[in-house]
Structures are given as structure tokens and as C-alpha cells.
Chain A
């Protein structure tokens, strides 16, 4: 399973997702049943179960990842997040009732803009601290105030440039977040440039139009590669590099089949879609390097506040930025 060359310590680390759609379907359906029966209150526990399955079915260098966040932690976060949203929406409703529409809207939008970076920061902090491999925790070392400042600055430039700066914003935020991720005493690095990312998207956009949408899959391939290829892990002098080996054709097959699966099962097939996609992603990432994984040691503390995680869920932010 492990390939080693004798000249250097460079080797390939196997990475795969072995979960089956049918297993995930069972988990999702039982979760759905319990969530409906408890009028939604089961949601945090449901999420913990699903994450546990998805992480547990992902294997790196012959060991599984682990998600060990609990429903209880996420439930507490859930309640806090609901309170925060109630405050934000409450202001809007109060604005309508007392005919202070402008004040209400300002409160609402400022509130939303304010909690987006908070949610991103909080969810990374929680999610990383609750992820481990061979018992070694991941960690997120980003500073909340620093990240919020960065977020507002980038947001401001994006607004005044009518969105053009968006590509730089995406890469700068991604660089900040990913470069602050620790894997035990090893640290991740992301190196990307807003200019390259901008050109990549411009090219993708126009080619997609010229080819009546067909180029979309190749655009997707380039976006994926720009994420994966620029990411590396550093441990002292040693490092691990990631590389995407996905082709546009691979993405075409993935997306079209996923779409057909969803349409013909009226959405019930989505666990198979998730399993196929996870399988695709991890089989298309090649991991090589010279870090001796036995030398990784525990260095990140535990963090149990899941408010950010739940806020991201409610904002539908998604985890990957």
C-alpha cells in the first residue's frame, strides 16, 4: 500500500473515501425521521451523526479521520445562533412595526454582514478542534478580530470595485483561513494570487458562454485544482504536497450523473450523490511528500463552542472557502 523510493524520503500517501451511499442513506433517513418527530430539535445530533460517518469513512495513510463534535455541543451553539438571528430579525420586524423601515433594514443588513466573518471564524475553530486523525487534533489558529478586520476590508474593496475585487477577496480570505490550520504540530499553507484567480474565472466565464456551457466542467476542474494544488502541509523541514489529478471529463461524468440521480429519484438519491462526490474528491487528490506521520504530535487544544458552526449552517455558508 505504501510506496517508497530509496533515493529520497518522498512517498505517496493513500487518500480515499470508502463510504457507501446506502449506508449514508440509512443514516440520513433515520436522522430525517428523528428530526421531523422532534420538530427539528434533533438537527444538531443528526448533523453530528452524518459528520461522524463522512469523516470516519475518509482514510488518509491507512487511518481514518474522526469527527468528535457532539450533538450536545452543537445544540448549545444552535440555541445561541437562534438567539442571535432572532435579534437580527427582531430589529427588522420592529422597524416594520414602528414604521422605521430604513433603520430596521440597516440593522438587519449590518447584522448579517457582521455575523458572516464571525460564523466563518467560529465554524473553523470548532470544526478543526473536533477533527482528528490517529487521535491528533486539527486546529484553527486564526485571530477573530484580525479576520473580521480583513473580511470588512476585502468586502469594502469588493463593493467599491463593483465585484471585480471579489476574486482577490476570495483568495485573501482563503489564504488567511487555510494558512492558520494546524494538523497537530504541522501547519497548512495556501499560496494563491487574486490576479491568477481572476483570470481563471474570466476565462472560465467567457469560454463557458462561447461553448454553450460545455466548458463549465473544465472551469470546475481548474477551480478545484487551484484549491488543491496550492495547498501544502509543513512539518519542520518536511512537507506534504497536494495535487489534483481530476480532468474536465471526470467532472463532466460526476456532475451529469449526480444530476440524473437527483432528478430521477426526486431528490431521495442525494446520499448517493454525496458519497459519489466524496469518493471522487478524495480519489482525485494525489498526496506526496516526506513528512513522517508518526512524528505528528498533539498540539492543538479542544474548543467546544459550536455557535459559529451553527450560524454558518443557518446562513448556508458552507464550510469550504
Chain B
């Protein structure tokens, strides 16, 4: 079958109107010019540079590129059928011509795959990586937070000494990394730094009535440090962000903003996961030292009263207090408390309360 075509010789932009036909036996495309010259191109040296339903642009390989343009759907069909060299790429063209529905399915599949990486694989790998990061990095990270830039309140040293005695009495096995600083401020809060320093605001101490509550705060913060939550959060955050930027490399900025915010929300969920872990492992620590777990529950009652503006759980760094009370109660039910009383701690606790009252 003869097809009209346009031929360019790679030397000038002048178009030659030619006829061409295909030979399956010799795997060739034969071009016949107006002056009845014959040019033969083996399929091997032809590349499809562009193809539409009724248009194909073939170019020869090599430095002098000769071009054959054919506007004929039947030619394209015949060429693809005869050209066995093209078979290597058949899977690619199959994918390409799979249709819009299939492409949307692929898009969703890739999306699900990336989501799987982002939500499960990468965070798990990042947490594994934490095991290989030496503890000294946590120490450096914690030490980089210096008192004045982070803590608004004053450092109350006399109270700190008492708090540290309480801590040693409560859990003698803890090494010297773990130390407490009291901060004179009305905030009802406490936090831990990755190097083992823990800060408790006098605002929280004032609200406490029982030694078990103080023990519960300490147990919770100790758990943050022993589980290296700061480091794990950092690793998860960085790796997740890295993956997102890799995937969305050349997608538009709008998408990036969208994903950025989603990433923040996702980090909050890690943060809530770690808080829950610190609650439960703090509870285990209390039990280990025979301290009644009710302290932790009444601690959350204190926090619940303080934060009367309730943020929905998914937007918060911490689980909602009522939710925390719930899961703690469930946990306590499964492993009832043995019933011994730590009188030694009571004394320490009274000293601490006295110091605070004197301050006021």
C-alpha cells in the first residue's frame, strides 16, 4: 500500500512530497521521490518521535536526521504491526494507550503507594534509624535549649533540690541524666528535654494535693526521655518531609502548600501517639515503684480543668484529657494496684508543698 508523505533530507527545511510503502519481509520503509529515486530505511534506524491518531513523525538515527511525516491512520497501524523492533516498547505503549479510566486508576494506585510509604514505611524506618543514633546526640540536642530562651519563668533552685530528692527517692535506679528544675510560673505544665532535664512549673505543683500526682508527672516525663520521643519525632518529621518533597518535586506549589499542612497534622498525630506511650509507660513505672496509679488520673483531672477551651483531638499535640483518663482507667482495671503506701514520698511531698506556700 502506497502512502503520501513529506520527507525532509536533514540538510534543508525544504519539503519533498513523496510516496512511501512498508515492507514487512525486509523490515524497511521505502520512500519514492518525485524523480523516482528510492530511499530505503530499515525499521531499526527509524524512531517514532511523535504519534497521534492520524499523524506520525519518523526520524532516522545518526547525525543527519531525515524526517518522514505521514498523516494517515492506516499507515500508522500497518507500521506498528510490521515493525517488530518496536516490540521492546510495547508494554510502554500499552500503558500509554490504556485509556483515561486506567490512567486515573494508576494515579490513585501511585497515590496509595506513596501514602503507604508516608504513613507506614518511612516512619517505621525512621524510628529504626533512631536506634543507631548514639544517645550523645540526644544530649547535645537537649543541651542546645538554654534556660533563658525557652523558659519564661524564674528558676527556683531550692524547690528544684527538693524535687530532685523526691525523684531519687521514687526511682533510685535512674542515672544522673534525669534531673528536675522547678520554674516559678503560673502555667499548669511540665516538659522534658531530650538530655534528661525535666521542667515543672510551680503553677502545676500548686494544684497538686497528693504525692502520687507528682510522681505521675515525673513518670510521664521520664518516659518521654527514655523512649527518646524528641529524637523519634525529629527523625519521623524530617524523613516524612524529605519523602514529600521528593514525590512532589515538580508538582505545582499549590499542592505543596496543601501537603505541607497535612504534614503538620500528621506530626501532631505522632505527637499524640508519643504522649499516649509516655502515659502508659509512666503508669508502668509507677507500678514498678509501688505508687498508686490514681495519681495519674487525678493529674489529668487537674489538666482537664485548666484547659477548658477544648481543641478537637486531631488538631492537638496531646490527646484530650478525658480520653487519657479513659484509657488509663482501662489499663488500671486490667492490672489492679497491689496496695502498699510509700510513706517516704509523702514526707518529701509535704516539704515541697511547704516551700511553694512560703513563696506565695
Contacting residues, chain A, for B100 (C-beta < 8 A)? 22, 25-26
Asked if residues B67 and A134 are in contact (CB atoms below 8 Å), the reply is: yes
By beta carbon, the residue of chain A nearest B117 is A36
Interchain CA distance A57-B113 in the complex, whole Å: 32
Total of A-B residue pairs, C-beta within 8 Å: 111
Q: Which of A110-118, A223-231, A291-299 contacts B (4 or more CB under 8 A)?
A: A291-299
By beta carbon, the residue of chain A nearest B68 is A135
Asked if residues B50 and A56 are in contact (CB atoms below 8 Å), the reply is: yes
From 37 to 77 in chain B, residues with beta carbon under 8 angstroms from any chain A beta carbon are 47, 49-50, 52, 55, 57, 59, 63-67, 69
Asked, given contacts A40-B246, A294-B13, whether A132 binds B65 with beta carbons under 8 Å apart, the answer is yes
By beta carbon, the residue of chain A nearest B65 is A135
A145 in contact (CB, < 8 A): no
By beta carbon, the residue of chain A nearest B66 is A135
Q: Which of A62-70, A83-91, A170-178 contacts B (4 or more CB under 8 A)?
A: A62-70
Asked if residues A294 and B49 are in contact (CB atoms below 8 Å), the reply is: no
Asked if residues A267 and B252 are in contact (CB atoms below 8 Å), the reply is: yes
Contacting residues, chain A, for B14 (C-beta < 8 A)? 294-295
B114 in contact (CB, < 8 A): yes
B242 in contact (CB, < 8 A): no
From 228 to 263 in chain B, residues with beta carbon under 8 angstroms from any chain A beta carbon are 246-247, 250-252, 254-255, 258
Q: Is the interface of B mostly helix, strand, loop or mixed?
A: mixed
Contact of B251 among A25, A33, A267 (CB under 8 A): A267
Asked if residues A135 and B8 are in contact (CB atoms below 8 Å), the reply is: yes
A101 to chain B, nearest CB (A): 14
Asked if residues A30 and B12 are in contact (CB atoms below 8 Å), the reply is: no
Contact of B113 among A36, A56, A296 (CB under 8 A): A36
Asked if residues A26 and B13 are in contact (CB atoms below 8 Å), the reply is: no
By beta carbon, the residue of chain B nearest A270 is B252
Interchain CA distance A268-B104 in the complex, whole Å: 9
Contacting residues, chain B, for A263 (C-beta < 8 A)? 254
B95 in contact (CB, < 8 A): yes
Asked if residues A133 and B13 are in contact (CB atoms below 8 Å), the reply is: yes
A136 in contact (CB, < 8 A): yes
Asked if residues A30 and B258 are in contact (CB atoms below 8 Å), the reply is: no
Contacting residues, chain A, for B63 (C-beta < 8 A)? 302
Contacting residues, chain A, for B96 (C-beta < 8 A)? 26-27, 30
Interface string of A15-38 (1 = CB under 8 A from B): 000100010011101101100100
By beta carbon, the residue of chain A nearest B62 is A302
Asked if residues B92 and A30 are in contact (CB atoms below 8 Å), the reply is: yes
By beta carbon, the residue of chain B nearest A46 is B250
Asked, given contacts A263-B254, A267-B254, A270-B251, whether A25 binds B103 with beta carbons under 8 Å apart, the answer is yes
A320 in contact (CB, < 8 A): no
A53 in contact (CB, < 8 A): yes
Interchain CA distance A68-B10 in the complex, whole Å: 14
Asked if residues B15 and A134 are in contact (CB atoms below 8 Å), the reply is: yes
B309 in contact (CB, < 8 A): no
B280 to chain A, nearest CB (A): 37
Asked if residues B49 and A296 are in contact (CB atoms below 8 Å), the reply is: no
Contact of B107 among A29, A63, A136, A184 (CB under 8 A): A29
By beta carbon, the residue of chain A nearest B100 is A22
Asked if residues B50 and A57 are in contact (CB atoms below 8 Å), the reply is: yes
B303 to chain A, nearest CB (A): 38
Interchain CA distance A298-B12 in the complex, whole Å: 6
Contacting residues, chain B, for A267 (C-beta < 8 A)? 251-252, 254-255, 258
Contact of B13 among A40, A66, A296 (CB under 8 A): A296
From 312 to 358 in chain B, residues with beta carbon under 8 angstroms from any chain A beta carbon are none
By beta carbon, the residue of chain A nearest B114 is A36
By beta carbon, the residue of chain A nearest B111 is A268
Interchain CA distance A296-B13 in the complex, whole Å: 5
Interchain CA distance A66-B67 in the complex, whole Å: 10
Contacting residues, chain A, for B307 (C-beta < 8 A)? none
Contacting residues, chain A, for B67 (C-beta < 8 A)? 66, 134-135
Asked if residues A53 and B106 are in contact (CB atoms below 8 Å), the reply is: no
A262 in contact (CB, < 8 A): yes
Asked if residues A268 and B107 are in contact (CB atoms below 8 Å), the reply is: yes
A78 to chain B, nearest CB (A): 13
Asked if residues B50 and A294 are in contact (CB atoms below 8 Å), the reply is: no
Asked if residues A52 and B103 are in contact (CB atoms below 8 Å), the reply is: no
Asked if residues A33 and B10 are in contact (CB atoms below 8 Å), the reply is: no
From 153 to 178 in chain B, residues with beta carbon under 8 angstroms from any chain A beta carbon are none
By beta carbon, the residue of chain A nearest B55 is A64
Asked, given contacts A56-B49, A135-B65, A267-B255, whether A294 binds B57 with beta carbons under 8 Å apart, the answer is no
Contacting residues, chain A, for B258 (C-beta < 8 A)? 266-267
Max chain A Cβ within 10 angstroms of own Cβ: one of B49, B97, B110, B258: B49
Asked if residues B50 and A64 are in contact (CB atoms below 8 Å), the reply is: yes
B264 in contact (CB, < 8 A): no
Contacting residues, chain B, for A32 (C-beta < 8 A)? 106-107, 110
Asked, given contacts A26-B96, A135-B8, whether A36 binds B110 with beta carbons under 8 Å apart, the answer is yes
Interchain CA distance A269-B255 in the complex, whole Å: 11
Interchain CA distance A57-B50 in the complex, whole Å: 8
Max chain B Cβ within 10 angstroms of own Cβ: one of A26, A53, A57, A273: A26
From 81 to 114 in chain B, residues with beta carbon under 8 angstroms from any chain A beta carbon are 92, 95-98, 100, 103, 106-107, 109-110, 113-114
Asked if residues B59 and A68 are in contact (CB atoms below 8 Å), the reply is: yes
By beta carbon, the residue of chain A nearest B247 is A36
Contacting residues, chain B, for A133 (C-beta < 8 A)? 13
Interchain CA distance A294-B13 in the complex, whole Å: 5
Max chain A Cβ within 10 angstroms of own Cβ: one of B13, B98, B100, B109: B13
Interchain CA distance A214-B96 in the complex, whole Å: 41
Asked if residues A294 and B12 are in contact (CB atoms below 8 Å), the reply is: yes
Contacting residues, chain B, for A295 (C-beta < 8 A)? 12-14
Nearest first, the 3 closest Cβ-Cβ pairs linking A and B are A56-B50, A267-B255, A296-B13
Besides A135-B11, A294-B12, 10 other A-B contacts (C-beta < 8 A):
A25-B100, A26-B98, A30-B106, A32-B110, A33-B109, A56-B49, A66-B50, A262-B254, A295-B12, A297-B13
